């Protein structure tokens, strides 16, 4: 059962840059109207909105720090007020604050859990009534290989991303009798600012470990999102690995 995305409405958290902006673009190419969420960089968000509108669909940018429940509520409300419906929620916003556990401060820990994991509670809890009313509702959580196999200096990030996987499966179970599906995508190393922040020597070593010997492209994650939205009616509670073979 293929779902046409024309006139569907999608929120992409952290949709202004990197993987999120690519997800927003690919969904727009399929005809979906897009709500771009961003936190601090309004210029990047406005640029994305203009680019998406050129594709002939509607788009708005909404500032919201999704780690704050009142902001997340404002985001969902803005989407429903503008478009009258909500079909797709892509929980993509994320940050890293890498350091070994010995050096990790409580602030490093809390911030990463707040932005990567608590944000997903904040957005999904408000969006759920709308998504379960949709003809083919979708929640897609952007996790990470780090949530699957851990990462040196990433106890906070790994905990958040692994938490997302448990959340995904449990919510999928609870909503399986509705038309909503809930899935996670686990990207490998993707060439965005987040990965460009890794020191060159460390990055070279990482790339050498990837069986396909290259970083992934944001669009390769975005096409996974489109696949789950269009052809994923019978796929729920799953982890879609898009990682060049680094974790099988």
Active-site amino acid positions: 157
126 to 155, contacts with ligand NDP by CB under 6 A?
142, 144
Greatest extent of the chain over all pairs of C-alpha atoms, in Å: 51
Q: Is 100 in the site for ligand NDP (CB under 6 A)?
A: no
Residue 142's SS3 state is strand
Among 5, 10, 18, 32, binds ligand NDP (CB under 6 A): 18
Q: What's the CA gap between 12 and 163, in Å, rounded?
A: 20
Q: Which is closer to ligand NDP, CB of 3 or CB of 183? A: 183
Residue 136 or residue 157: which is nearer to ligand NDP going by CB?
Answer: 157
Binding-site member from 5, 8, 20, 163 for ligand NDP (CB under 6 A): 20
Contact call for residue 159 and ligand NDP (CB under 6 A): no
* Residues in 79-98 that interact with ligand NDP by CB under 6 A: 92-95
* Residue 162: both structure tokens together: 């692994």
Which of 53, 48, 42, 59 has the alpha carbon at shortest distance from 20?
A: 48
**Residue from 88, 115, 162, 171 in contact with ligand NDP (CB under 6 A):** 115
140 Cα distance to chain centroid: 6
Query: Rounded to 5 degrees, what angle do the CA atoms 103, 108, 113 make?
Result: 130
Q: End-to-end distance of the chain based on CA atoms, in angstroms?
A: 28
Residues forming the site for ligand NDP (CB under 6 A): 13-14, 16-20, 37-41, 44, 65-67, 92-95, 115, 142, 144, 187, 189-190, 192-195
């Amino acid at each position: 059962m293929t779902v046409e995305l024309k006139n569907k409405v999608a929120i992409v958290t952290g949709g202004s840059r990197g993987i999120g902006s690519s997800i927003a673009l690919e969904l727009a190419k399929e005809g979906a109207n897009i709500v771009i969420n961003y936190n601090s960089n309004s210029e990047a968000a406005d640029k994305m909105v203009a680019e998406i509108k050129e594709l002939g669909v509607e788009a708005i940018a909404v500032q919201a720090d999704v780690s704050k429940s009142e902001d997340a509520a404002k985001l969902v409300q803005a989407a429903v007020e503008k478009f009258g419906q909500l079909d797709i929620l892509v929980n993509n916003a994320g940050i890293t604050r890498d350091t070994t556990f010995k050096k990790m401060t409580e602030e490093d820990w809390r911030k990463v859990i707040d932005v990567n994991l608590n944000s997903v509670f904040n957005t999904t809890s408000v969006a759920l009534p709308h998504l379960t009313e949709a003809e083919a509702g979708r929640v897609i959580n952007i996790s990470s290989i780090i949530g699957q196999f851990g990462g040196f200096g990433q106890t906070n990030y790994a905990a958040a991303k692994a938490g997302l996987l448990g959340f995904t499966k449990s919510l999928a179970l609870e909503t399986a009798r509705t038309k909503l599906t809930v899935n996670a995508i686990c990207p490998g190393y993707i060439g965005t600012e987040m990965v460009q922040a890794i020191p060159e020597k460390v990055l070279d070593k990482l790339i050498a470990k990837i069986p396909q010997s290259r970083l992934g492209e944001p669009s390769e994650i975005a096409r996974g999102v489109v696949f789950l939205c269009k052809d994923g009616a019978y796929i729920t509670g799953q982890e879609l690995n898009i990682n060049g073979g680094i974790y099988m």
